[in-house]
Amino acid sequence: MCGIVGAVAERDVSAILLEGLRRLEYRGYDSAGLAVRGDEGVLHRHRAVGKVGALEDAQAARPHHGVLGIAHTRWATHGAPTEANAHPHVARDEVAIVHNGIIENHEPLRRQLTAAGYRFDSETDTEAVVNAVHERLEAGDDLLTATRSVIARLDGAYALGVISRHDPDRLIAARRGSPLVVGVGIGEHFIASDVAALLPVTRDFIYLEEGDVAELTREGVRILNAAGEPVERPVRTTELTADAAERGAFRHFMAKEIHEQPRAVAETLEGRIAEDRVLPEALGPEATRILGEAQRIQIVACGTSYHAGLVARYWFEAIAGLPCDVEVASEFRYRRHVVPRDTVFVTLSQSGETADTLAALREAWTMGYLATLAICNVPESSLVRESDLVMMTRAGPEIGVASTKAFTTQLTALLLTVIATGRMHGLEAAEEARLVTALRSLPRQMEDVLALEPAIEAMSEQFVDKHHSLFLGRGTQYPIAMEGALKLKEISYIHAEAYPAGELKHGPLALVDAEMPVVTVAPKDDLVEKLKSNLQEVRARGGRLHVFADAAAAPAADADCQVITLPPVDEAVAPLLYTVPLQLLAYHVAVLKGTDVDQPRNLAKSVTVE
């Protein structure tokens, strides 16, 4: 989703802005732009459709320099990805703005400004904001006051960066509904959508809160809260380093992140398990008490995180004995609910900034839940800050749009939560010990599965010319089949659907032929024999099977049934292990197809609009 970078410094900021945009590329975007205020008091702008590389080319061909500037990567919402719609937007060559989010009342604003003589050159909602700020400046406001009076009229979500050619020392930032951080330097200050953009220039950040407006100068940062009162927000030093988000020797971030999973899972377990039990520290005393009181769980999430929630439902019910509902956030937030007594509301999110998940959480506050728990990968995210209880996944920065290590670490954190909850609801010590042992073995077992990559890469060749595919699983493997299908469709653009294998004969079997590969995950569990019967149904219709299975339960391989065997694994953690080959399969199909693996078309990493 859109990315913002801005800087006010004593040095030329154009390279800082471009490097920042590069580091935000992973969020997903389709055009980019920058504006700097040149020493002669003129706003210079470059915009380009496509990658940041195109913007860099424009800058190299005609360099614009200045000590004050803003830049943006745009993920189109209002209007196609064209140069005219790319940010920054400029009003009468005097004010420039970058914006993330959606202004819902931009149409009446646009009508009023058009009537006042303002020209609109784009289809964006943002242009109304920049013209409105200009109108206030003309009326005599200074840049901060003008910005504040305009945002008071905005409905919707925004993070904004504003500069004026008349104000060489000032960068105004504002946020409501979209993330924005202030980077603190010495004699220079920055803004960005996330810390990753600014790691080469600072590790000290102020996380703006909802409704905050900040005035950045070279000397300092002044923040006003939503009520217009001056506030102090703490400066936090991030543990991330500039190279935390680099690809290393891997060809794509996704490949790197798939291979980081054994370490990421081990880190998520670190300090949270002992020999045979989950430590109370895993969740903290408050969470332990609340989960002890809980009688039900409601999970809300989007995308891959939603699939983690679906797996957790099986676990909460089977291991902790608590009823558990799971819903995608965009549905949850727009329907009426009956909230059963003593229900804990759990959000799952890699970024902690997904607009629908955050809105669902805010909705949940008013609905009488026992408490809110966030399982999240970004410590300073809105979701973390706004939840009662937090369990961090420790995946490290995830850059590839298609989520991989965030998913398996979410599952790890969820299983820890389920076990800790289960203990207070009658889970026996021997069972807990078995689960903890299984969790502890996972990183090594994941390494074994990663070693299967050459065989999976060879399998991927059979998908390259296909247009459709079917993923089957049963029990906890059904959500894993859903996740495998999501990975394949996201990055290879092959239509992929997941079904619980038992539903095959209620519809999808009609689609099965030699042109529709059928992918199945089949660990050795109570359902595997039933699953194998379902696979016979596919074979009898001339379908081609690609099966990931435990050697002890695998169907016989032949020309129409390719089998890759995985090491034996405890049933409880099998979902984590069987995710890995599906990630690798999607990755290699995408590489063979030559798609943009890390930034697939039309998708964004962090979906900060509804």
Point out which residues bind ligand G6P (CB under 6 A).
Answer: 302-305, 349-351, 354, 357, 401-403, 603, 605-607
Q: 101 vs 523, which CB is nearer to ligand G6P?
A: 101
Output the smallest distance, CB 327 to ligand G6P, in A.
14
Rounded CA separation 492/488 (Å) = 6
Could you give the 3-state DSSP secondary structure of residue 531?
A: helix
Choose between 201 and 373: whose C-beta lies nearer to ligand G6P. Answer: 373
Which amino acid is present at 318?
A
The amino acid at residue 276 is D
**Residue 605 annotated among the catalytic residues of the structure:** yes
Do residues 83 and 45 make contact, with C-beta atoms less than 8 angstroms apart?
A: no
Tell me, what DSSP letter sits at residue 90?
E
CB of 356 to ligand G6P, least distance (A): 8
Q: Which of 51, 405, 524, 605 is catalytic?
A: 605
28 or 69: whose CB is closer to ligand G6P? 28
Shorter beta-carbon distance to ligand G6P: residue 427 or 480: 480
Indicate the length of the chain as a whole number.
610
At residue 353's C-alpha, the angle toward residues 301 and 268, to 5°, is: 70
Cβ atoms of 508 and 497 closer than 8 Å: yes
In this structure, are residues 334 and 326 in contact, taking their beta carbons and an 8 Å threshold? no
Distance of CA 73 to the CA centre of its chain: 16
Residue of 2, 302, 324, 561 marked active site: 2
93: which DSSP letter? T
Give ∠ CA 144-147-151 in degrees, rounded to 5: 140
**Which lies closer to ligand G6P via its Cβ, residue 34 or residue 308?**
308
Work out how close the CB of 607 gets to ligand G6P at its nearest, in angstroms, rounded to a whole number.
Answer: 5
- Least Å distance, CB 500 to ligand G6P, is 21
* Min dist. Cβ of residue 332 to ligand G6P (A): 13
Contact 471, 497 (CB under 8 A): yes
Q: The tokens of 451 are what?
A: 């070693």
Q: At which residue do the structure tokens 């024999």 appear?
A: 529
* Minimum CB distance to ligand G6P, residue 604 (Å): 6
Nearer to ligand G6P, 277 or 495 (CB): 495
Tell me if 365 sits within 8 A of 347, measured CB to CB. Answer: no
- Which residues make beta-bridge pairs with 70? 6, 35
Please name the residue that has the structure tokens 């580091």.
23
Task: Indicate the DSSP class of residue 72.
Answer: E
- In the bound complex, what is the minimum distance in angstroms from residue 212's beta carbon to ligand G6P? 22
Shorter beta-carbon distance to ligand G6P: residue 147 or 404 = 404
Q: Are strands 343-349 and 296-301 parallel, antiparallel or unpaired?
A: parallel
Under 8 Å between Cβ of 607 and 3: no
| Cα–Cα distance for residue pair 263/246, rounded to 1 Å | 17
Q: In this complex, which beta carbon is closest to ligand G6P, that of residue 54 or of residue 603?
A: 603
Q: Minimum CB separation from ligand G6P for residue 304, in Å?
A: 3
* Alpha carbons 13 and 531: distance in angstroms, whole number: 59
Distance CA 309, CA 82 (A): 37
Residue 3 vs 303, nearer CB to ligand G6P: 303
Residues in a beta bridge with 391: 375
Smallest separation (angstroms) from ligand G6P to the CB of 306: 8
Output Rg (C-alpha) for the chain, integer angstroms. 25
| Residue 13, token pair as written in the block | 């900021």
Using Cβ positions, the residue closest to ligand G6P within the complex turns out to be 303
Angle subtended at Cα 484 by Cα 585 and Cα 313, rounded to the nearest 5 degrees: 150
Distance from C-alpha of 539 to C-alpha of 479, rounded to nearest angstrom: 23
- The C-alpha atoms of residue 516 and residue 161 are separated, in whole angstroms, by 49
DSSP H or E stretch at residue 252: none
Least spacing, CB of residue 586 vs ligand G6P, in Å: 12
Residue 312: how many other CB atoms lie within 10 Å: 30
DSSP 3-state of 561: strand
Q: Which residues contact 114 (CB under 8 A, 6 or more apart)?
A: 120
Least distance in Å: CB of 1 to ligand G6P? 8
**351 phi/psi in degrees, rounded to 5:** -80, -30
What sign results for the dihedral spanned by CA atoms 369, 371, 375, 378? positive
Catalytic residues: 2, 605
